[in-house]
Chain A
Amino acid sequence: MTASASAETLARTGLRSPAFARLLRALLPALSMTLILIAIAYLNPRAISYFGFSLMLNLAIPIALATIAQMFVITVNELDLSIGTFVGFVACVTATWLRDAPLLGVVVLLGSIGVYAALGALIHLRNLPSIVVTLGMSFVWQGLAILMLPKPGGKAPDWLQGFMSLKPPFVPFPIIAALVIGLGVHVALMRTSYGAVLRGTGGNAQAIHRAGWSILKTKVTMFALTGLFGVLSGMALVGITTSADANLGNGYTLLAIAGVILGGGEFVGGRVSPIGAVIGALTLALAASPLLTFMHIPPDWQVAANGAILIIVLAARALISRREGDR
């Protein structure tokens, strides 16, 4: 009996350790990015400058937006394997119709967000595996993109190009944009009252349902948000590259998933972090080329280095969550 009482006390005083592990896990994305920045600073001190960051983080904004898009569906325990080709599709629309016939372009982009919302409803109502549905959709978006722009070309609207090449004083534009995206989504998803319901759907859908909320509505909302941020990502991408190509976004599907996971998100359970996801995306953008170039890693091995970074971070997380599981 005394043994049980003391075991109980032990469990209660040990309470802070899981919280500590969670803190550690929350800091992991920032920690990995810091490490990479230190490595870059060590290898090439000149890179740590206004100009250096503008250059190194050139493509970070569309990656961050695509990562946030993926994060929304992951929050409700789904996955979007079509986000990459969707970004490519949006890029093609932006470089053609949005420039030449703005009204049509806007309608098409809004319509594509509607398609995402409808997919969310379909997946929920028919109880379909989101992986397969979005896999099919990845063909559809790519097909549409090729139909629109069979050859690389088009031109980004001038206002978009102008916006993406802003040069604000002191702080490079990509950093400001990343802050705005991360904080904006953080407030919307983590601080609003409906955001709690949305995340709760991923944590314990039955509890949310029992408290009187519609799971259909939360899923549709999340898929629509994925579509919205996919659109933003495609537009940002074309604003930087100035012309489009149907295959422009293909790599983004995997980058976005990796970014969410790197940023501390989990595939199930509604545990995500918008700020973490943005940091994860920046980390990937930095690790993708600048670091590896400075480290003189041959281009052949850059993809592998990305995979290895992913595996190392995941291994660290597995270690930390094992500690959490020991409770």
Chain B
Amino acid sequence: MTAVRTLLARPWIWSFIGALIVWLAAILFTGGYGAGGMITAALSLAVFMVIVGIGQMFVITLGPGNVDLSLPANIGLASAVAMKVMGGSNAMIAVGLVAALASGMAVGAANYLLIRVLRIPPIIATLSSSFIVLSIDIAYGRGLQIKPPPAFADFTNIQVFGIPILAIGGVVFAFLAGIALQRMIYGRSVLAIGQNMRAAWLAGIPVERIRFFTYTLSGALGGINGALLAGYFRGASVDIGNEYLLSSIAVVVIGGTSVAGGKANVPGIWGASLFLVLLLTMLNTFGVSAGVRLLLTGLIIVGVITAAGGQKTLR
């Protein structure tokens, strides 16, 4: 009884409950047909949201105004970089992944420099940098029709007992991110900065170093995500990351992380990602149009933030 109560007190549990409900609604509609396949597909797609969502979570946790809007352009560029470096050859997979990672980190570091040097809000800094990254991607990836190396494409689609190996990796990664958030100096510092940047500075936390690391981390995760997406969808494209602009923020907020900063939640990102993906799956099985799908997604985001927000800011 108390176990149930403590479980219900966890903010992330609600996103999983939501995911469960939409899944049940979907299989009820199909009469149980394809229930397992639906989960497999949802896990495959959710993991991409989880990876960028975790990067975005650390950024948003830094406090009001912190957000990374350069993720879509970053993902697009990294996907092209990875495919070009791999060049379809199995031998180059590791090099390609490192290149995608480096490309993402460079974007993240550039974001931080714009924020710091030009002293402009992160929104407009990451926005302007995304324009430039987008152009680099368009020019660099023009006519790029390189397929991923077969081993890489296969890897992104491997399943163990119906569970995609990427999803297993995503769970492990989320677990590590949770440890970093709660049990490492880095995570504690991010949480402290998000609650009160001045107090964090006065408590001896190297605020600017942590912010730099966080934006670079978000960029790095965008880079890795780009490479994996290119493997999964068998090719890079400029708009491969487009949906992650909004969904990376949405999973963070629905997952129980506070947009006011200082409070983050890793398990909730998995729950929220599954919820969003299954929601789309459910709406697809219902056969609703793309318009209704978007409409409902938007209304749910506004509804969740209205229900979850509203706490008085303490500052």
Contacts and interface: CB of A to CB of B under 8 A. Distances in A.
11 contacts: A126-B306, A135-B246, A135-B249, A136-B302, A143-B293, A143-B298, A144-B295, A257-B124, A258-B124, A298-B139, A304-B132
B138 A143 contact: no
Nearest to B310: A126
A127 B124 contact: no
A259 to B, nearest CB: 12
B128 A150 contact: no
Given A304-B134, A311-B118, A133 B290 contact: no
B127 interface: yes
A307 B298 contact: no
Contacts of B292: 143, 147
Given A136-B302, A314-B120, A147 B289 contact: yes
A257 B126 CA distance: 13
B2 interface: no
A254 B132 CA distance: 13
A183 interface: no
A140 interface: yes
B310 A128 contact: yes
Nearest to B139: A300
A126 B294 CA distance: 24
Interface in A300-317: 300-308, 310-311, 314-315
Pick the 7 closest A-B CB pairs, nearest first.
Answer: A307-B131, A139-B298, A304-B135, A143-B295, A143-B294, A136-B301, A147-B291
Given A261-B124, A307-B135, A310-B131, A140 B309 contact: no
A305 B128 CA distance: 10
Nearest to B302: A136
A145 interface: yes
B142 interface: yes
Nearest to A310: B128
Nearest to A142: B294
A311 B250 CA distance: 28
Contact of B305 (A136, A141, A300): A136
Interface residues of A, number: 46
Interface string B243-287: 000100110010000011000000000000000000000000000
A246 B290 CA distance: 12
A137 interface: yes
A131 B305 CA distance: 11
Contact of B134 (A133, A303, A311): A303
A139 B294 contact: yes
A267 B121 contact: yes
Name B's interface SS. Answer: helix
Interface residues of B, number: 49
B116 to A, nearest CB: 11
B135 A301 contact: yes
Interface in B130-162: 130-132, 134-136, 138-139, 142
A132 interface: yes
A136 B139 contact: no
B163 interface: no
A277 to B, nearest CB: 15
A138 interface: yes
Contacts, number: 147
B136 A140 contact: no
Given A138-B298, A310-B131, A150 B305 contact: no
Interface of A: 79, 122, 126-129, 131-133, 135-148, 150, 246, 254, 257-258, 261, 267, 298, 300-308, 310-311, 314-315, 318, 321
Contacts of B293: 143
Given A147-B292, A303-B131, A303-B134, A314 B124 contact: yes
A137 B298 contact: yes
B6 interface: no
Contacts of A142: 294, 298
A141 B294 CA distance: 8
Contacts of B138: 300-301, 303
A318 B119 contact: yes
Q: Which of B250, B260, B309, B310 has the most CB of A within 10 A?
A: B309
Given A131-B123, A307-B132, 11 more contacts: A122-B306, A131-B259, A136-B299, A139-B299, A140-B302, A142-B298, A147-B295, A304-B135, A306-B131, A307-B131, A314-B120
Given A132-B253, A136-B305, A300 B119 contact: no
A132 B305 contact: yes
Contacts of B124: 257-258, 261, 267, 310, 314
B120 A307 contact: no
B25 to A, nearest CB: 19
Candidate in B130, B294, B309 with the most chain A CB atoms within 10 angstroms? B294
A261 B119 CA distance: 13
A126 B309 contact: yes
A314 B128 contact: yes
Contacts of B253: 132
Nearest to B246: A135
Nearest to B294: A143
A133 B253 CA distance: 11
A135 B250 contact: yes
B18 interface: no
B67 interface: yes
A138 B246 contact: yes
Given A129-B309, A257-B124, A146 B289 contact: yes
A304 B289 contact: no
Interface in B297-315: 297-302, 305-306, 309-313
A127 B64 CA distance: 13
A261 B121 CA distance: 11
B130 A307 contact: yes
